[in-house]
Structure 1
């Protein structure tokens, strides 16, 4: 996967997910249905595209222990978030209505460890790792401070609520898209 492509498309897919999510909730409920599935598929794609972004940020930061630990931590968070979105997609596909979805989510989250790993702590590792990676790039002067600041603001927006996901995606685009213009070395470099 070309990281340059990912620096632009991953944030755009976050915007798509955020907008579709807002539209899906206009009737007071989210899911199940086409909007639920389309939105979650967009975020699912964004998460996969963030993996090359994280590892390219590691390369730009110098490939040191700190940069590598940050990329590993964030990638673990991506895996947890992918599992969460996968659960959301399956529940959305199998549920007859919103009440059925709530019941199914309750059953999944009652499995020991799932709530913590997949919903509470795990995905936070992705956002925290992305924030740390962006700040690290600014510290080593691989990016200007404003670029890292946009990523920091995107993460803060995401923590304020899921309704701010379109803002999160736009801020990620501002912070990450300039990195798409940098030459990307091969995976062996």
Structure 2
């Protein structure tokens, strides 16, 4: 086996891992979140911290996922612009999760958390950028890229349908995040290692 072939295989394994791990981590976060709320309150504590760390890792893993989805479309202008929008959404989501994580670590109890979150939400532009419109851009970009791949016949239509359903379910209720993660798993994993960009297909 040549060195180039070995590098390609390793790169494919890394991409496959991201396509598998990112949805599973969202499912894990959703399940931990549900368990954390069984007593009527969420955080602070190990469940809050563990769940948010899982979500943080999921978001980081979605960066190579989104980049690879853009590559498979053929890298045209629409896909490149969509990738940029999605990455802005990922950045906003990372900011949100990081804030939640830090507050959970610093707060002495749930009332303390509530006061800290009130201070954060009172900052100008924080709600719209970090907690509302910003994170939506991630899901919007993911949806557009998945549909683009299906339209270009780079992936089966059912994969795009699963991703689309996940994006539609996500805003309904955060308690549905385990289902969102599983739908994304259906749509994104296992990643086809032999897939080529749409433009390269005959």
Alpha carbons 2:154, 2:195 under 8 Å: kept: no
State the partner residue of 1:85: 97
Alpha carbons 2:72, 2:195 under 8 Å: kept: no
Q: CA deviation at 1:5?
A: 1.1
**d(CA) in 2 for partners of 1:176 and 1:19?**
20
Q: CA deviation at 1:183?
A: 3.6
Alpha carbons 2:59, 2:94 under 8 Å: kept: yes
1:184/1:44 Cα in 2 relative to 1: closer, same or farther (>3 Å)?
farther
User: Which structure 1 residue ranges, 4+ long, deviate > 4 Å from structure 2?
Assistant: none
State the partner residue of 1:58: 70
Deviations 1:141-188 (A, max 9, x none): 11111110000011111111100000000000000003x232479xxx
**d(CA) in 2 for partners of 1:74 and 1:47?**
11
Residues 78-117 of structure 1: matches in 2 within 5 Å? Answer: 78-117=90-129
1:181 to 179, 182, 192: 192
- 3-state secondary structure, aligned to 1:121: helix
Q: Does 1:122 align with 2:141?
A: no
State the partner residue of 2:47: 35
Alpha carbons 2:143, 2:167 under 8 Å: kept: yes
Cα RMSD for the two superposed structures: 1.2
Q: CA deviation at 1:109?
A: 1.1
- 3-state secondary structure, aligned to 2:38: helix
The gaps in structure 2 that reach 5 residues or longer are 1-10, 197-202
- 3-state secondary structure, aligned to 2:43: coil
**May I ask how many residue pairs the two structures share in their alignment?**
184
Deviations 1:45-94 (A, max 9, x none): 00000000001000001100000011110011000000000000000001
The gaps in structure 1 that reach 5 residues or longer are none
Alpha carbons 1:11, 1:46 under 8 Å: kept: yes
The TM-score normalised by the length of structure 2 is: 0.89
